[in-house]
Amino acid sequence: MWYNTKAAQILGIEYPILQGPFGGNLSSVELVATVSNAGGLGGYGAYTLSAQEIIEVDRQLKAATNKPYNINLWVSDHDAANGGVTDAQFEQTKALFKPYFDELAIPFPDKPAPFKPRFENQVEALLHLKPAVFSFMFGVPSADILEQCRKLGIATVGAATTLDEAILLEAAGVDMIIASGFEAGGHRPSFLTSAESSVTGTFVLLQQVRDKVKTPIIAAGGIADGKGVAAALALGASAAQIGTAFLACDESNALSIHRQMLFSDAAKYTTLSRAFTGRLGRGISSRVAKDMLGKEAGFLPFPLQTQFISSLRKAAIEQKKWDMILFWGGQIAPVLKHTKAGELMQAILKETTDYFNDLKY
Ligand SMILES: Cc1cc2nc3c(=O)[nH]c(=O)nc-3n(C[C@H](O)[C@H](O)[C@H](O)COP(=O)(O)O)c2cc1C
């Protein structure tokens, strides 16, 4: 059957369908458990959580499913030199965003305190918890971390946006590689060159990686139904990771307006922007995202820009100024149909099975 792939074996799951993890508090235990209980692999994006919070989430996950699930972290979790910004940099950013703070009639936040890296502590918690799968983006964990995962039986999955990143991940010995295409919602997980120059589409990236790399590949970006899964498998993927379609389901932790936007006409247009976090991510086009294109030099480095923009985002939501927000989402949103994660999973499995069955006649 189409679902008996290497990826399904390594991940210990029935169907090679991964629910893409969402960072920034958009993951939910319910969504992860729904997908894992249906035979796929649910994923929890934990990069904003402290070690203690990860332990608590894991406790909830274990209570909600006895199937494998994935915990996801960001290997590189800040871009600021020494973790902070100068007063001059902060004044420049305030000047750039002043019209929006004025429009919402809110004061500027204080200069963000220097960021304290979290990855080492998070990984320590993860190794202690031993989830079936550890996926990561924005880099490659140290050889020591990967070795510990191997010893503990944790499958490792790294994200690549270019062929060179995939080759590096394979050389590091990860168990599986995500080919993360330009279409995908959320951040571009690039780590070798700039995200702006790592913009290959999913199906081209998948074929490039397939040609040069032996490690099983998970295709991510622009897949939302069984035809997409079948196409990814036909091009050499061993599994598909689906983000936007699961983010739009009721079980995700996205605001209801965010989920509504993904099903609205607005979702026909998306923008890659650094204005909302400091790193390049795709969301539904908005006035501020478009205004800020080309003005990246004035943004704070990740994640200080997220902190700077958070009061603006909060006020924009309160005042229903949706055009001042970037609602994360990928290019595939206009074809979404399902609002329940269980139904989405069943539809994907049926469509993929029907597709491959039809091919036999
Ligand atoms: C809102 C949002 C947040 C995301 N956060 C993460 C994350 O923290 N870590 C990660 O590896 N991938 C993250 N992703 C990527 C997804 O897991 C998945 O690979 C991607 O959404 C697939 O493309 P699609 O949106 O076209 O389905 C995020 C995606 C979205 C839409």
Provide the token pair at 140.
Answer: 């490659």
Q: Is the CB of 303 under 6 A from ligand 1?
A: no
Q: Is the CB of 77 under 6 A from ligand 1?
A: no
Q: Is the pLDDT of residue 85 over 60?
A: yes
pLDDT tens digit string along 217-244?
999 999 999 999 999 999 999 999 999 9
pLDDT tens digit string along 56-69?
999 999 999 999 99
The model's confidence at residue 118, banded by pLDDT at 50, 70 and 90, is: very high
- pLDDT, mean over the chain: 97
Q: Tell me the CA–centroid distance for residue 307 and ligand 1, in Å.
A: 20
Q: Tell me the CA–centroid distance for residue 243 and ligand 1, in Å.
A: 5
Rg, Å, the chain Cα set: 20
Mean pLDDT value across residues 307-314: 97
* Torsion angles phi and psi, residue 260, rounded to 5: -60, -40
Q: Is the pLDDT of residue 180 over 90?
A: yes
Protein residue closest via CA to atom 30 of ligand 1: 186
Ligand 1 pocket test target in 17, 22, 47, 258 with most atoms within 8 Å of CB? 22
Taking domain 6-80+116-254+339-358, whether its CATH number is 3.20.20.70 is answered by yes
Sequence letter at residue 195:
A
Task: Give the ranges where the chain is alpha helix by DSSP (H).
Answer: 6-11, 29-37, 51-64, 87-104, 119-129, 143-152, 163-172, 202-212, 226-234, 244-247, 256-262, 287-291, 304-318, 341-359
Q: Is the pLDDT of residue 282 over 80?
A: yes
* Torsion angles phi and psi, residue 59, rounded to 5: -60, -45
Domain boundaries, the chain: 6-80+116-254+339-358
Q: Would the pTM count as exceeding 0.85?
A: yes
Protein residue closest via CA to atom 2 of ligand 1: 186
pLDDT cut 90: percent of the chain above it: 98
Protein residue closest via CA to atom 12 of ligand 1: 21
Provide the token pair at 48.
Answer: 């904003």
SS3 136: strand
Q: Is the CB of 131 under 6 A from ligand 1?
A: no
